[in-house]
Amino acid sequence: MINKKFTLAKRPIGMPEDDCWDLVESEIPDLLENQILIEVIYLSVDPYMRGRMNDMKSYAEPVKIGGIMVGESVGKVIQSRSEKYNIGDIVTAHLGWQTHIIADDDSLFVRRVFPDLAPIQAYLGVAGMPGRTAYFGLLDVGKLKSEDTVVVSAASGAVGSVVGQIAKLKGCKTIGIAGGPEKCSFIKDEMELDHAIDYKSGNLPEDLAKACPNGIDIYFENVGGEVSNAVAPLMNQGGRVPICGYISAYNSFNPDMDSRDDLPETPFDVFGALDPVPEHRFFVVTEFMNEWDKATKELTEWIRKGDIKYKESVLEGFEKMPEGLRNVLSGKNFGKQLIKI
């Protein structure tokens, strides 16, 4: 049996092209005691992957040249020498871009999931890491209150769509920002947020001010750039800004940057310059690992009841992983980007 994997061949400057990776094939060895073999069905594509390609100090170690590209997948256990997992079990594995994964049965990167609660690919999206990111970022970092006005960028995406709908479920006024009429229609008509604002319309500051006449209490940051600058003047005293990411700047980082002056503007620059400074911080979902099961249980229940709606973009074939990442970084995808093996 053959495993295919993508390893990092070089660090990108700007948008990562195909030559940033090597596609490697190798024989799958026999399992050792307490190991399982997972056949991947779907792979997740997420914005954070671009940052992990840079050799820069961050919240997580960068992928090494020659190392397997980081990422999460969902698949089926097809061989087992473990008492914890049976053949046929469905699991998620945060063990990189590959078609087959050997994992120890006590690995923190492997989790059993339950197809009777949600479609298996949802555990890479609304019921998985992006959904949990939205859940903890909004409720814990954002300290959501029912009377808040909540604005979320990339509002039709895997994280942003969950943020907006949780805020709506909790009784908040909700404003979603996205690019293009199709995404904005989904935000308004299916997600049923109060306002959907198209940042590509050319009227972002005016449209946002009109939608938020009483200011903004929580801004859930996914994008940065012009969106952050449009939001900042409208932040209320006591406002909170959970910073999940700022995708507009990800391709601006390159190995030649040798001083702070070279770095692109970030949300920390924008919101840190306000007076008063709103509560704002970057967070990662692993901060809340002990509560993941609670979040997934609540998210899957909302999905089952139809309270959370979501979109998926699916590319067929493992070789499409690089294309999938470019789609995410350029906003070409609609909702959660997945690769189906």
Burial class (CB in 10 A: 0-12, 13-18, 19+), 135: buried
209 found inside a domain: yes
What percent of the chain shows pLDDT beyond 90?
Answer: 91
pLDDT at residue 263, as a whole number: 66
- Band (pLDDT 50/70/90 cuts) for residue 128 is very high
Nearest to 165 by CA among 340, 50, 335, 339: 335
148/170 Cα distance (integer angstroms): 10
Q: Do residues 68 and 116 both lie within one domain?
A: yes
33 found inside a domain: yes
Q: Do residues 202 and 108 both lie within one domain?
A: no
Q: Do residues 133 and 274 both lie within one domain?
A: yes
332 found inside a domain: yes
- Band (pLDDT 50/70/90 cuts) for residue 252 is low
pLDDT at residue 113, as a whole number: 95
Q: Do residues 120 and 134 both lie within one domain?
A: no
Cα first-last separation, the chain: 15
Distance of CA 60 to the CA centre of its chain: 15
233 found inside a domain: yes
Token representation of residue 101: 């994964």
Q: Do residues 234 and 280 both lie within one domain?
A: yes
In tens, the pLDDT along 59-116 reads 788 999 999 999 999 999 999 999 999 999 999 999 999 999 999 999 999 999 999 9
In tens, the pLDDT along 235-244 reads 999 999 999 9
Q: Do residues 144 and 58 both lie within one domain?
A: no
7/21 Cα distance (integer angstroms): 5
302 found inside a domain: no
What letter represents residue 194's amino acid? D
301 found inside a domain: no
Q: Is the pLDDT of residue 265 over 90?
A: no
pLDDT at residue 112, as a whole number: 96
Token representation of residue 178: 């996205």
Q: Do residues 264 and 187 both lie within one domain?
A: yes
- Band (pLDDT 50/70/90 cuts) for residue 259 is very low
Q: Is the pLDDT of residue 254 over 80?
A: no
Pairing of strands 90-93, 110-112: antiparallel
296 found inside a domain: no
Q: Do residues 70 and 160 both lie within one domain?
A: no
Q: Do residues 115 and 159 both lie within one domain?
A: no
- Band (pLDDT 50/70/90 cuts) for residue 249 is confident
Q: Is the pLDDT of residue 253 over 60?
A: no
Among the residue ranges 21-25, 126-130, 257-261, 321-325, the one predicted with the least confidence is 257-261
- Band (pLDDT 50/70/90 cuts) for residue 264 is confident
Q: Do residues 148 and 269 both lie within one domain?
A: yes
Where in the sequence is the domain holding 328, given as residue range(s)?
2-125+311-340
Q: What rounded mean pLDDT belongs to the chain?
A: 94
Where residue 229 sits, what CATH number does that domain have? 3.40.50.720
Torsion of CA 234, 142, 127, 159, to 10 degrees: 30
Q: Do residues 113 and 92 both lie within one domain?
A: yes
What letter represents residue 326's amino acid? R
| Cis peptide leading into residue 29 (ω within 30°) | no
96/221 Cα distance (integer angstroms): 26
Where residue 119 sits, what CATH number does that domain have? 3.90.180.10
Among the residue ranges 123-132, 235-244, 249-258, 326-335, the one predicted with the least confidence is 249-258
What percent of the chain shows pLDDT beyond 70?
Answer: 96
Mean pLDDT of 27-37: 98
Total domains in the fold of the chain: 2
Q: Do residues 269 and 141 both lie within one domain?
A: yes
299 found inside a domain: no
Mean pLDDT of 105-130: 95
In tens, the pLDDT along 173-213 reads 999 999 999 999 999 999 999 999 999 998 999 999 999 99
